[in-house]
Amino acid sequence: MIHKSLPKIWYGGDYNPEQWGEKEWSEDIRMFKLAGIDVATINVFSWALNQPSENTYNFEWLDATIERLYQDGIYICLATSTAAHPAWMAKRYPDVRRVTFDGRKRQFGGRHNSCPNSPTYRTYAERMAQQLGERYKNHPAVLIWHVSNEYGGYCYCENCQKAFRVWLKDRYGSLEAVNEAWNTRFWGHTFYEWDEIVAPNGLSEEWKNGQNTNFQGISLDYRRFQSDSLLDVFKLERDALKHHTPDIPVTTNLMGLYPELDYFKWGKEMDVVSWDNYPSIDTPVSMTAMTHDLMRGLKSGQPFMLMEQTPSQQNWQPYNALKRPGVMRLWSYQAVAHGADTVMFFQLRRSRGATEKYHGAVIEHVGHEHTRVFQECAQLGKELASLGDQVLDSRVKAKVGIVFDWENRWAIQLSSGPSISLDYVKEVHKYYDAFYQKNIPVDMISVDEDLSQYDIVVAPVLYMVKEGYADRLKQFVKNGGTFVTTFFSGIVDERDLVTLGGYPGELRDLVGIWAEEIDALHPSHYNEIKFENAYGSLNGEYKCNILFDLIHAEGAEVLATYGSDFYQGMPVLTKNAYGEGNAYYVASSPDQPFVQDFVETITADKGIKGEFVSAKGVEVIAREKFGEKYLFVMNHNTETSSFELGETVMVDQITNETYNGTAQIKSKDVLILKEMN
Ligand code: GLA
Ligand code: ZN
């Protein structure tokens, strides 16, 4: 629970008053009040201002800013300013500057630009956190610490290379074990001394900016290592802050499906997860929903913070579409519906110069409140104020878990063959979307998550099976669970070494099949999934593409077979009874109608239903606490749409209007329904 001193959905966002003067500051406060803004994230990019030279610190401006805001009832999400190092530091200490994928030493510039293994960066970042912790530990305005900003990017410098060797020693114990893990007899890459190991990049094993590698083992480990290195600098700052303020929560803003960091590992180190939501105008709403659920999953279902979203448009997309009227509000509530306890923006006042001057903000360049964007923000601010603490700390309760794993994702992406068109996130989303369309809540879970809380667990393309995981899945199915996995699963262990003896390796007896070969065809080429007999809602013929496992049933029941090619008649969908439960294997990448009918079938079998039926495009999801259920109904369509409440009479917590029977919801509108008592 992060909302002790401000028990409502926090409303505000990034605020950079250091880019402005007194005239704007007083206008800012006036307009924040008009908009119901009560939290400002400050000090994100002010390292150069806070530490103008090596031994001088200057926090007067920050003292004054915090004071000014707090006097007017605005609380602070206090960043540590370490997301971009000062120019003097880059000049004096080259080690803070990263080395790029192609081996070039960076100059000063940009942001997210510090090497995580630079002694200078580590020293000064930690010291900055100490200074801030010490200085503001008793300030009642400070609600939460925001360490750095959107950690990301890899470095390939000498210091990283050295630290990588240490990391490897730690993980493997010996050079022999490293050689074995990476299968270095291949192409004669055997290492005899630790310092023969170099970073895998464009000068060594990788090409296409790390999309391709000769050695999956070293590339996979370098990703783990860089993710750990950045996590380590986060921990340095976190611990420095915790030393002074053990009770103030610490977060750093994540980026949803960002590929480079293993966020499940990060989530464990953060008090509260926060993330920045920037969908494009054509991002499917179910993809955004899935990403929220993934961020909620990082801390096993605890509420998270929506740290940033744009009130209107971004600047960094090729085409920066405005959020249409109502959409900012709709997407804000979508975040809340999926577990966010804050609604925050980037940013509160739009910059005047540099790269983000065309990025939307609550206060636009015109400088007054008479804009569409401001009015929509103010409307939402009013609503969030009136909701008070109602939904705070409530939970989404799901009986379905979908497995997501960053290391598996890296391994699939780095794999040379069988197909460049295999996209892990897309395959996961395919299944997610089918549950989403039926308003069935889903938890996005790590491979560490306790499975016993679920009736159904889906692990699309579980290519890498980590130590002990197959046994845990077996236990889950033995106890009556329904497990679904797909083609190209059970292939390798954590080292990316193939599990010998037939695919899908350790999952083989669980799913009761053997995959003898894997065919990969151009994605425009389809095969068919054919049902001789209907199975639940599955019937007739569907299409599949990308990869085609040629499988033999070894005890599993064959539910459907391939319709064409030389493997026509071989199984493509199987079901294996295992203990009290069932394990399904989907041997190819199916079309959406298949996934929908399949999900319909397995959920019906388990008696899992969505909250209630709604028109396509009307999303329904519940948050619960103290036995109360808050049903968020969100219409993503461009027209009024309907949903079915039946006999139950429900009250919208925003407008107090009552609903029952076949109810209507306007385009882009949101209802938060609670049963009338
Ligand atoms: C990110 C950053 C912000 C800002 C926004 C712009 O999320 O954290 O500092 O650059 O993008 O969309
Ligand atoms: Zn480095």
The secondary element (H helix, E strand) that includes residue 484 is strand 482-486
Which residue has the least CA distance to atom 3 on ligand 1? 346
The average pLDDT across 623-649 equals 96
Q: What percent of the chain has pLDDT over 70?
A: 100
The secondary element (H helix, E strand) that includes residue 343 is strand 340-345
In the predicted structure, residue 106 carries a pLDDT above the cut 80: yes
Residues 600 and 516 in one domain: yes
- Residue 533 domain-assigned (yes or no): yes
The structure tokens listed for 28 are: 């800012």
How far apart CA 126 and CA 241 sit, in angstroms, is 9
Which residues are paired to 186 by β-bridges? none
How far apart CA 654 and CA 476 sit, in angstroms, is 41
The enclosing domain of 111 has a CATH number of: 3.20.20.80
3-state secondary structure labels for all residues of 225-261: HHHHHHHHHHHHHHHHHHHHCCCCCEECEECCCCCCC
The half-sphere exposure of 11 on its side-chain side, counting CA atoms within 13 A, is 28
Which residue has the least CA distance to atom 10 on ligand 1? 356
The enclosing domain of 521 has a CATH number of: 3.40.50.880
**164 burial level (CB within 10 Å; 0-12, 13-18, 19+):** buried
The structure tokens listed for 345 are: 């923006």
Q: Which atom of ligand 1 is nearest to the CA of 150?
A: 8
Cis amide leading into 246 (omega within 30): no
Of the candidates 230, 168, 196, 192, the one whose C-alpha atom is nearest the C-alpha of residue 495 is 168
Of the residues 585, 606, 627, the one at which a domain ends: 606
CA of 165 to the centre of ligand 1 (A): 33
Cis amide leading into 504 (omega within 30): yes
Residues 525 and 558 in one domain: yes
Residue type, 290: M
Residues 468 and 556 in one domain: yes
Of the candidates 551, 534, 549, 540, the one whose C-alpha atom is nearest the C-alpha of residue 601 is 534
- Residue 136 domain-assigned (yes or no): yes
- Residue 629 domain-assigned (yes or no): yes
What is the count of structural domains for the chain? 3
With H, G, I as helix, E, B as strand and everything else as coil, classify residue 145: strand
β-pair type (75-79, 39-42): parallel
**pLDDT confidence bin for 3, thresholds 50/70/90:** confident
Residues 91 and 143 in one domain: yes
Of the residues 606, 631, 660, the one at which a domain ends: 606
Residues 281 and 304 in one domain: yes
In the predicted structure, residue 453 carries a pLDDT above the cut 70: yes
Q: Which atom of ligand 1 is nearest to the CA of 308?
A: 7
**pLDDT confidence bin for 1, thresholds 50/70/90:** low
Residues 450 and 492 in one domain: yes
Q: Which residues contact 208 (CB under 8 A, 6 or more apart)?
A: none
255 lines ligand 1 (CB under 6 A): no
Residues 471 and 439 in one domain: yes
Q: Which of 150, 369, 383, 427 is catalytic?
A: 150
- Residue 209 domain-assigned (yes or no): no
The structure tokens listed for 265 are: 């590992």
The DSSP-derived string for 549-614 is EEEEESSPEEEEEE-SSTTTTSEEEEEEEETTEEEEEE-EEE-HHHHHHHHHHHHHHHT---SS-B
- Residue 179 domain-assigned (yes or no): no
In the predicted structure, residue 149 carries a pLDDT above the cut 70: yes
With H, G, I as helix, E, B as strand and everything else as coil, classify residue 309: coil
**pLDDT confidence bin for 281, thresholds 50/70/90:** confident
Look at residue 495 in the predicted model and tell me its pLDDT.
Answer: 98
- pLDDT tens per residue, range 333-381: 999 999 999 999 999 999 999 999 999 999 999 999 999 999 999 999 9
Q: Clarify whether 150 is annotated catalytic.
A: yes
Mean pLDDT over the full length of the chain: 97
Residues 575 and 627 in one domain: no
Q: Which residues of 307-318 are buried (b: 16+ CB within 10 A; e: fewer)?
A: bbbbbbbbeeee
486 lines ligand 1 (CB under 6 A): no
Sheet holding 274-276, edge to edge: 250-251, 142-146, 75-79, 39-42, 10-14, 340-345, 304-308, 274-276, 253-254
For CA atoms 459, 463, 465, 466, give the dihedral sign: negative
CA of 172 to the centre of ligand 2 (A): 22
Of the residues 326, 357, 387, the one at which a domain ends: 387
Q: What percent of the chain has pLDDT over 90?
A: 98
Residues 471 and 547 in one domain: yes
How far apart CA 567 and CA 279 sit, in angstroms, is 40
Residues 602 and 623 in one domain: no
Look at residue 677 in the predicted model and tell me its pLDDT.
Answer: 78
In the predicted structure, residue 156 carries a pLDDT above the cut 80: yes
**278 burial level (CB within 10 Å; 0-12, 13-18, 19+):** middle
In contact, 341 and 305? CB cutoff 8 Å: yes
Range of the domain at 658: 618-675
**93 burial level (CB within 10 Å; 0-12, 13-18, 19+):** middle
359 lines ligand 1 (CB under 6 A): yes
258 lines ligand 1 (CB under 6 A): no
Residues 602 and 622 in one domain: no
Look at residue 617 in the predicted model and tell me its pLDDT.
Answer: 98
308 lines ligand 1 (CB under 6 A): yes
Which residues are paired to 395 by β-bridges? 624
The enclosing domain of 657 has a CATH number of: 2.60.40.1180
Look at residue 282 in the predicted model and tell me its pLDDT.
Answer: 87
The structure tokens listed for 583 are: 């394990």
CA of 330 to the centre of ligand 1 (A): 21
Which residue has the least CA distance to atom 4 on ligand 1? 346
How far apart CA 541 and CA 573 sit, in angstroms, is 12
Which residue has the least CA distance to atom 7 on ligand 1? 276
Q: Which residues of 187-212 are buried (b: 16+ CB within 10 A; e: fewer)?
A: eebebeeeeebbbbbbebbbeeebee
The secondary element (H helix, E strand) that includes residue 620 is strand 618-625
- Residue 225 domain-assigned (yes or no): no
β-pair type (482-486, 557-562): unpaired
The DSSP-derived string for 195-216 is GG----STTTTEEGGGTEES-H
In contact, 362 and 373? CB cutoff 8 Å: yes
In Å, how far are 140, 370, 537, 560, 561 from 533, measured between CA atoms?
A: 67, 63, 11, 8, 11
The average pLDDT across 411-436 equals 98
In Å, how far are 553, 556, 570 from 559, measured between CA atoms?
A: 11, 9, 11
Residues 271 and 410 in one domain: no
**pLDDT confidence bin for 112, thresholds 50/70/90:** confident
What is the radius of gyration, based on Cα positions, of the chain? 26
- Residue 223 domain-assigned (yes or no): no
- Residue 224 domain-assigned (yes or no): no
Q: Which of 205, 206, 308, 506 is catalytic?
A: 308
- Whether this model's pTM surpasses 0.85: yes
Helices 216-244 & 175-182 angle (0-180, nearest 10): 120
- pLDDT tens per residue, range 54-69: 999 999 999 999 999 9
- pLDDT tens per residue, range 500-533: 999 999 999 999 999 999 999 999 999 999 999 9
How far apart CA 443 and CA 352 sit, in angstroms, is 41
Of the candidates 320, 158, 105, 145, the one whose C-alpha atom is nearest the C-alpha of residue 245 is 145
How far apart CA 488 and CA 463 sit, in angstroms, is 6
Q: Clarify whether 308 is annotated catalytic.
A: yes
